[in-house]
Structure formats: C-alpha cells, structure tokens
C-alpha cells in the first residue's frame, strides 16, 4: 500500500537509545522520533518470516484498538552487507506484563482493568468484522499468547503485542471473492511449523496432537489462545493483593515442570495428570477474583468461553 513509500525512510529519522528486550526474535529498543519516545523491534535477518507476519497484522483493516499495540511503521533498513528488519510501535515504559507482575503487586481494580483489557484486545483480534466496502477484518489467532507478549500501558491497562506467529482466516468479501490476507507469503505457515508458541502456554489439544501445528483452522487456534489467556489471568490473580495475600510472582506450572519444558513434559502434566495452576480459596473474598477464577476454570478445560464472553463477564464488575 501507499504508506510503504514513507516507511522506507523512517528509520533514518529515528535515534535508538537503549535495549529494553532481547529474545529469539531479535531486540526491542527504546528510541526517539521527532522528540517522542517510541519502540523499535529489530528482527534477526533469518527471521524475516516473523517480521512479514507481524507487518501483515498491523496492515490489516481495522486492527487498530486500544488493547492492540499501536503500530507506527515497518522498515527494511539497508546496513551495508545485510538488511535490518524493523517494526516501529508506541513505547510503554512499564514493559511487559511479565516484567510488571514480577516487580509489582496489584490491587483488585488494577487486576480487573488488566484482565478486562486483555480479553477486550483478544476479542478484537479474534473477531471477524465485515465491512460495507473495504476488505473485512479477518479472524486472527495470536498463537503465542503469554504475559511476555502483553505490554502494560501507563494507565495500567494492557495491550497485546508480538504477532510474529499469528494466523488469519481466509474470508469472503462483500463481492463474494475469496481473499487471503496473507497472499504475499503463503510459505509463512510452513516456515513457522517448528516455531509455534511457548510450550508452557500451549493448549492441551496442541500438546497431545489433537490440534496439529500445521492446521490452518483459525477457529481451533482461537480456542488455543483462550486457554493461554486463562493462564495469564492466573498470573494476574496470584499477584493481586487482597488483605496482604499476594504471592511472589511465579510462571504458570512453576511447581509442575522444569524451566524450559518440552512438549512431552507439558503433556504429562496438562493432559495425563490433568493438572491446572492452583487456585487460592482466599480469592473467594473478592468478587473480582471470584469472576477471574470463574473465567480461568471455564477457559482451561475443554468447554471454553470466547474472549468476547469473558470480556462481558468481567465487564459486570467494572
Ligand atoms: N518491550 C517490547 N515492546 C515494547 C514496547 N513497545 N514498549 C516498551 N517495552 C517493550
């Protein structure tokens, strides 16, 4: 599309300041652009597919949402002997939800605000939105949903980020044409097969192979995201301080699996032993934590709610 013309040069106007995140994908920098703080995610060149996949999401019609990380530009920057792949977004000083929960306890109101905004963002991502004239917004599944891929905004609501593993639905537009929003990279899925998700957050059906990694069924992947969201809600609940009862931050299944669990290890716990993260009876003292518990337990076994339904249930307490 036309914005790309501008985007080709934006990296020249940006000053990188400090690294705020490093991962398998590459690095995230705090940077400045005409006096404003922004974030720049720089991909490893070998991971061009994740960059393209993430750029696709941000160029989807109607993706813009308060609970989806705000996209500014994409750029491929020639640095002599190779090309640097950039995604430029809003900067959020609190960093990821994982970072925030590690260092801070929450009050109930904040726990509700965070979980509601997460459900709201996921419901928007998942939703198919038909339009009168322009292309519709397809259903999108995230496929690597976890507290490290959620950012905490200044008002302590959250937004979803890291769309490198997303999958979008094919859809019919208003003229009855079949569109594939990812038409430019139909190798994408194959290239990603061995890289999908983080085992700790993988839905039971992924761990035992009922849902295959190469499945193109977005509806099934949406259900897998919902399971991951239930673990994120549990992380939030464990850090919520109702009468001095917050526990130190721990990853989901910290007490059941090793630090970097294999799929077999996760499968033994999640499917064979049917273990789920422990709930605290103290949470019954708060209507908000009770609702969060209800959401978790309705989302981490087989009959899962939709993100929209979870959002509506939480909204009753807002
Ligand atoms: N870490 C990863 N992405 C970030 C962003 N947009 N703002 C702040 N920290 C981040």
What residues contact residue 162 under an 8 Å CB cut-off, 6+ apart? 25, 54, 144, 148, 149
- Residues making up the annotated binding site for ATP are 41
| Whether the predicted pLDDT of 245 surpasses 80 | no
Burial of 155 (0-12, 13-18, 19+ CB in 10 A): exposed
pLDDT digits (tens, 9 = 90+) for 48-103: 889 998 998 888 888 999 999 999 999 888 777 888 899 999 999 999 999 999 99
Q: Which of 5, 8, 77 is nearest to 41 (CA)?
A: 77
Please give the structure tokens belonging to residue 223.
């259900």
Q: What is the pLDDT of residue 8?
A: 57
* % pLDDT > 70, the chain: 89
Q: Which of 120-129, 180-189, 221-230, 275-284 has the lowest mean pLDDT?
A: 180-189
Q: What is the pLDDT of residue 195?
A: 58
Q: What is the mean pLDDT of the chain?
A: 88
* Contact 91 CB / ligand 1 (< 6 Å): yes
* Contact 135 CB / ligand 1 (< 6 Å): no
In this prediction, residues 162-166 reach a mean pLDDT of 93
Q: What is the pLDDT of residue 270?
A: 98
CA of 86 to the centre of ligand 1 (A): 13
| Whether the predicted pLDDT of 1 surpasses 90 | no
Of the candidate CATH numbers 1.10.1200.10, 3.40.50.300, 1.10.287.470, 1.10.510.10, the domain formed by 97-315 belongs to: 1.10.510.10
Distance CA 312, CA 46 (A): 41
Residue with the larger pLDDT of the pair 176 and 89:
89
CA of 195 to the centre of ligand 1 (A): 22
| Whether the predicted pLDDT of 6 surpasses 70 | no
Residue with CA closest to ligand 1 atom 6: 91
Domain boundaries for CATH 1.10.510.10 within the chain: 97-315
Q: What is the DSSP letter of 233?
A: H
Residue with the larger pLDDT of the pair 265 and 83:
265
Pocket test for ligand 1, best of 16, 23, 28, 148 (most atoms within 8 A of CB): 28
Distance CA 143, CA 295 (A): 20
Distance CA 251, CA 157 (A): 20
* Contact 89 CB / ligand 1 (< 6 Å): yes
In this prediction, residues 3-9 reach a mean pLDDT of 52
| Whether the predicted pLDDT of 168 surpasses 70 | yes
Q: Which of 54-58, 205-209, 287-291 has the lowest mean pLDDT?
A: 54-58
| Whether the predicted pLDDT of 180 surpasses 50 | no
CA of 96 to the centre of ligand 1 (A): 7
292: phi then psi, degrees, rounded to nearest 5:
-60, -40
Confirm if 29 and 40 have CB atoms less than 8 A apart: yes
Pocket test for ligand 1, best of 20, 70, 159 (most atoms within 8 A of CB): 20
Domain boundaries for CATH 3.30.200.20 within the chain: 4-90
Distance CA 140, CA 170 (A): 10
Quote the pTM value: 0.90
Confirm if 22 and 39 have CB atoms less than 8 A apart: no
Pocket test for ligand 1, best of 31, 42, 70, 95 (most atoms within 8 A of CB): 95
CA of 161 to the centre of ligand 1 (A): 9
Residue 174 CA: distances (Å) to CA of 131, 137, 178, 218: 7, 12, 10, 20
Q: Which of 135-139, 250-254, 297-301 has the lowest mean pLDDT?
A: 135-139
Alpha helices, DSSP H only, in the chain? 3-10, 48-58, 97-103, 108-126, 188-192, 204-207, 218-238, 263-267, 287-299, 307-315
* Contact 121 CB / ligand 1 (< 6 Å): no
- CATH number attached to the domain at 4-90: 3.30.200.20
Distance CA 186, CA 216 (A): 11
* Contact 269 CB / ligand 1 (< 6 Å): no
Residue with CA closest to ligand 1 atom 9: 95
* Contact 88 CB / ligand 1 (< 6 Å): no
Residue with the larger pLDDT of the pair 6 and 260:
260
CA of 168 to the centre of ligand 1 (A): 24
| Nearest atom of ligand 1 to the alpha carbon of 91 | 7
Catalytic residues: 144
As for the ipTM of the complex, it is: 0.96
Q: What is the pLDDT of residue 41?
A: 96
Q: What is the pLDDT of residue 288?
A: 97
* Contact 20 CB / ligand 1 (< 6 Å): yes
In this prediction, residues 176-196 reach a mean pLDDT of 43
Confirm if 253 and 267 have CB atoms less than 8 A apart: no
| Nearest atom of ligand 1 to the alpha carbon of 41 | 3
Give the position of tokens 């922004």.
38
CA of 93 to the centre of ligand 1 (A): 7
């Amino acid at each position: 599309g036309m914005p790309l013309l501008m985007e080709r040069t934006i990296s020249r106007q940006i000053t990188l300041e400090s690294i705020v995140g490093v991962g398998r994908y590459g690095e995230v920098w705090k940077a400045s652009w005409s006096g404003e703080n922004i974030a720049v995610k720089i991909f490893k060149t070998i991971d061009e597919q994740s960059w393209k996949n993430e750029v696709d999401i941000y160029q989807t019609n109607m993706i813009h949402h308060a609970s989806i990380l705000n996209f500014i530009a994409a750029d491929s920057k020639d640095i002599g002997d190779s090309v640097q792949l950039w995604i430029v977004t809003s900067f959020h000083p609190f960093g990821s939800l994982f970072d925030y929960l590690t260092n801070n306890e929450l009050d109930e109101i904040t726990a509700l605000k965070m979980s509601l905004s997460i459900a709201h963002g996921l419901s928007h991502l998942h939703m198919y939105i038909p339009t009168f004239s322009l292309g519709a917004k397809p259903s999108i599944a995230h496929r690597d949903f976890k507290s490290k891929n959620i950012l905490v905004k200044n008002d302590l609501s959250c937004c979803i980020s890291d769309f490198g593993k997303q999958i979008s639905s094919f859809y019919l537009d208003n003229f009855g044409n079949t569109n594939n929003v990812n038409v430019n990279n139909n190798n994408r899925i194959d290239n990603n097969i061995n890289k999908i998700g983080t085992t700790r957050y993988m839905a039971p059906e992924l761990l035992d192979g009922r849902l295959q990694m190469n499945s193109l069924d977005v509806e099934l992947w949406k259900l897998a995201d919902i399971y991951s969201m239930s673990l994120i809600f549990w992380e939030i609940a464990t850090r919520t301080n109702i009468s001095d009862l917050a526990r130190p931050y721990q990853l989901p299944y910290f007490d059941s699996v090793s630090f970097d669990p294999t799929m077999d290890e996760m499968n033994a716990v999640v499917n064979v032993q049917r273990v789920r993260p422990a709930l605290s009876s103290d949470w019954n003292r708060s209507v908000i934590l009770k609702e969060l518990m209800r959401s978790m337990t309705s989302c981490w076994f087989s009959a899962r709610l939709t993100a929209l339904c979870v959002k509506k249930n939480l909204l009753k307490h807002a």
